[in-house]
Amino acid sequence: MTRIAGVFFCLCGFLILLAGCASSPPVILSVTPTSATVFSSETVQLTATDSAGDADVDWSVTSIPGVAGIASTYIDANGTFTAPTVTQPTSITVVATSHRDPTKTASATINVFPNGQVTATNNPQVAQYTLNLPSGTNAYIQFGTDTSYKLNTWTQPAPASGPLSFYVAGMLASTQYHMRAVLPGPNGSMITDVDHTFTTQAVPAAQIPPVTTTTTQGMTPQSGVEVLDLLIGPSGSSPLAAFDLSGNLLWSYPALSSGSVQGVHLLPNGHFLFGDSPSALMEVDLAGNTIQQETLAQLQTAFNNQGLNYTLNAFHHDVIGLPNGHWIALFNMYVACSAIANCSGLGNILGDGIVDLAPQGDGTFLPVWTWSTFDHLDINRAPQGYPDWTHSNALVYSPDDGNLLLSIRHQSWIIKIDYENGAGSGAILWHLGSQGDFTLQGGTDPYDWFYMQHGPSFTTTNTTGQFGLAVFDNGNDRPTQPGCTSGCTYSRGVTFQIDETAKTAGIVTDFRPMEYSFWGGNAEQLANGNLEADFNAGATSGYSNIFEVTPGSSPQVVWKLSTGNANAYRGFRLPSLYPGVQW
């Protein structure tokens, strides 16, 4: 028994020895995340999962194109990667290697983008933020007076070649701002640049007079910025300015030395389009740079080349951009009475024309459709006399049918023109107003029609059939209703429900604060359903009072802006200074 037991114990010891000499299990190594994107100097935390334990891992970085020094200095023993300073988008590989088995590695690819550059522009309140990103990479800029970055620009893709630049606008003058680029990622993730600071400069008080605002207690106005097309008295200069709802100046375009800013509209590309009346139409960016323009002389030459017998006098009041990139502009011209059908005993008459300008891709425009009041209106209907026969002041495009609305002040009419996106005959489809084609509902004809109006705009998303229309009714020459003894002369912001088939126009909102604004003005429905009306020539101040009021039969004032030493020929609310962005 003793011998057998000894053999047994020897055999057991041998088996134990064999087990101890068996090879270790293979190392299994992985890294998360496997890829990441950061800006220079930003960090990424990498995690290695190693079957042999955390202490088994060595971190390293492959050589970095364009970066001098030891690549491994950008990763520490804990897997924290700090992006080096690069001047071009750079791809860097970070490697985790096993101590126990150096043949076992795992890696992550880190894309590093250069930090943005922030510089001043010619506009004291606008910064330029420039990024060098791969083509198609989307980005936007956050900015604010602290690092909570409460405002942002719109999102834009990096171009196929060259830098991506943003004009950062909407900042107070003489104020330091923080800003950073943001690259939106999947599932709401964000990649952010480092924080940059920028200090805006002062705007001379004489350039943009101050405004005052009040908000009715318990009410909330529609958020956004208020844009004013100003006429400063007594100098007569005409700058463009945007204010927040507390009356703080956020952005401005200085007065033109050659003319006045008229017909201002924000284009889908983020630029402003307006007329430099009387001599040019201009597209400018937020820094105030002219992108392209059409001069009156250029249009006259084009008309002459096309054999059109138009002798131009001025661009005036309005120019709008269409979805296809064309510009539709108002111009006026003198025509001798002797050259007009059914005209006699008069001299030269000033009437209006409309031109569709197609961009040619080289900064020039080609007139591709024209329309004239002399061809479509009765020369003998002249409520305001001659020679300023029509004095049109606004154009509105109808997306649903591609037609145009024209506000003709000296006819007290808004007409619809068969434009059909450039294929229309130019025929007048209807006349809205006193002695027009519609029956007035909710008011007394002729007293409750609009007279010498300005600034019509659609109040509904649909623009044909049954739709809403806002109008600023100046009220010049309004017939006095029998028995009226006070308040007989007034201006108002009014909205109508239009039925093109039944030819009815029903009054929906009628806001009349007993102010008489005998020239200028604007009316629009805001996103919250309220009506905004610009009483350009305020009765109490001689300057402008702009009201936001609730809709309906008993409108209540929600918010008011008043100017001093300047008239707001047009005042209108934008969601922000960037298309599609709400502040």
Segment 288-294 shows an average pLDDT of 96
User: Over 70: is that where the pLDDT of 513 sits?
Assistant: yes
pLDDT (0 to 100) of residue 68: 65
Rounded Cα gap, residues 537 and 129, in angstroms: 40
For the record, the structure tokens of 379 come out as 């020369």
Rounded Cα gap, residues 244 and 466, in angstroms: 34
Segment 87-99 shows an average pLDDT of 93
Rounded Cα gap, residues 33 and 191, in angstroms: 15
Rounded Cα gap, residues 521 and 512, in angstroms: 13
User: Over 70: is that where the pLDDT of 173 sits?
Assistant: yes
User: Over 50: is that where the pLDDT of 18 sits?
Assistant: no
pLDDT (0 to 100) of residue 69: 64
Helical ranges in 223-308 per DSSP H: 296-305
Helix count and strand count (H, E) for the chain: 3, 43
Rounded Cα gap, residues 527 and 522, in angstroms: 16
Per DSSP bridges, beta strands 164-168 and 127-131 are antiparallel
Are 398 and 464 a contacting pair, CB within 8 Å?
yes
User: Over 80: is that where the pLDDT of 264 sits?
Assistant: yes
In the three-class reduction of DSSP (H, G, I as helix; E, B as strand; rest coil), residue 157 is classed as: strand
CATH topology match: 29-113 vs 117-199: yes
Amino acid symbol at 567: N
Other Cβ atoms closer than 10 A to 331: 27
For the record, the structure tokens of 344 come out as 């006699």
Convert the pLDDT of each residue in 448-485 to its tens digit.
999 999 999 999 999 999 999 999 999 999 999 999 98
pLDDT (0 to 100) of residue 205: 81
User: Over 90: is that where the pLDDT of 10 sits?
Assistant: no
- In three state form, how does the secondary structure of 360-385 look? CCCCCEEEEEEEEHHHHCCCCCCCCC
For the record, the structure tokens of 132 come out as 């060098």
Are 411 and 352 a contacting pair, CB within 8 Å?
no
- Nearest 5 degrees, angle CA 206-CA 247-CA 319? 75
Q: What are phi and psi of 421, to 5 degrees?
A: 55, 40
Give the position of tokens 């131009």: 312
pLDDT (0 to 100) of residue 15: 41
In the three-class reduction of DSSP (H, G, I as helix; E, B as strand; rest coil), residue 351 is classed as: strand
Handedness of CA 443, 445, 448, 449 (dihedral sign): positive
Per DSSP bridges, beta strands 439-441 and 504-511 are parallel
Are 279 and 316 a contacting pair, CB within 8 Å?
no
Contacts of 120 (CB under 8 A, 6+ apart): 127, 128, 198, 201
Other Cβ atoms closer than 10 A to 258: 9
Handedness of CA 350, 315, 256, 199 (dihedral sign): positive
The residues spanned by each domain of the chain are 29-113, 117-199, 271-371
pLDDT (0 to 100) of residue 65: 79
Are 579 and 154 a contacting pair, CB within 8 Å?
yes
In the three-class reduction of DSSP (H, G, I as helix; E, B as strand; rest coil), residue 65 is classed as: coil
pLDDT (0 to 100) of residue 324: 97
User: Over 90: is that where the pLDDT of 55 sits?
Assistant: no
Lowest pLDDT segment from 223-237, 323-337, 402-416:
223-237
Cross-strand partners of 228: 241, 571
End-to-end CA distance of the chain: 96
Computed over every residue of the chain, the mean pLDDT equals 93
Are 411 and 403 a contacting pair, CB within 8 Å?
no
Handedness of CA 565, 290, 534, 278 (dihedral sign): positive
Q: Note the Cα 509 to chain centre separation in Å.
A: 27
Closest to 518 in 3D by CA, of 481, 480, 475, 561: 475
Rounded Cα gap, residues 528 and 86, in angstroms: 47
Closest to 263 in 3D by CA, of 323, 211, 325, 315: 315
pLDDT (0 to 100) of residue 99: 87
pLDDT (0 to 100) of residue 206: 81
Per the confidence metrics, is the pTM higher than 0.85?
yes
Identify the H or E element spanning 4: helix 2-21
Pairwise pLDDT comparison (279 vs 186), residue with the higher score: 279
Cross-strand partners of 442: none
The DSSP symbol for 304 reads H
Identify the H or E element spanning 335: strand 327-336
pLDDT (0 to 100) of residue 519: 95
- What CATH class does 29-113 carry? mainly beta
- What CATH class does 117-199 carry? mainly beta
Cross-strand partners of 180: 142
Other Cβ atoms closer than 10 A to 158: 20
Quick one: pLDDT band at residue 240, thresholds 50, 70, 90?
very high
The DSSP symbol for 402 reads T
Are 558 and 530 a contacting pair, CB within 8 Å?
yes
pLDDT (0 to 100) of residue 63: 76
Contacts of 121 (CB under 8 A, 6+ apart): 127, 128, 167, 287, 288
- In three state form, how does the secondary structure of 410-473 look? HHCEEEEECCHHHCCCCCEEEEECCCCCCEEECCCCCCCCCCCCEEEEECCCCCCCEEEEEEEE
Segment 566-583 shows an average pLDDT of 97
Are 556 and 211 a contacting pair, CB within 8 Å?
no
Half-sphere exposure of 503 (CA within 13 A, CB side): 13
Quick one: pLDDT band at residue 72, thresholds 50, 70, 90?
confident
In the three-class reduction of DSSP (H, G, I as helix; E, B as strand; rest coil), residue 148 is classed as: coil
pLDDT (0 to 100) of residue 23: 62
Lowest pLDDT segment from 22-31, 111-120, 431-440:
22-31
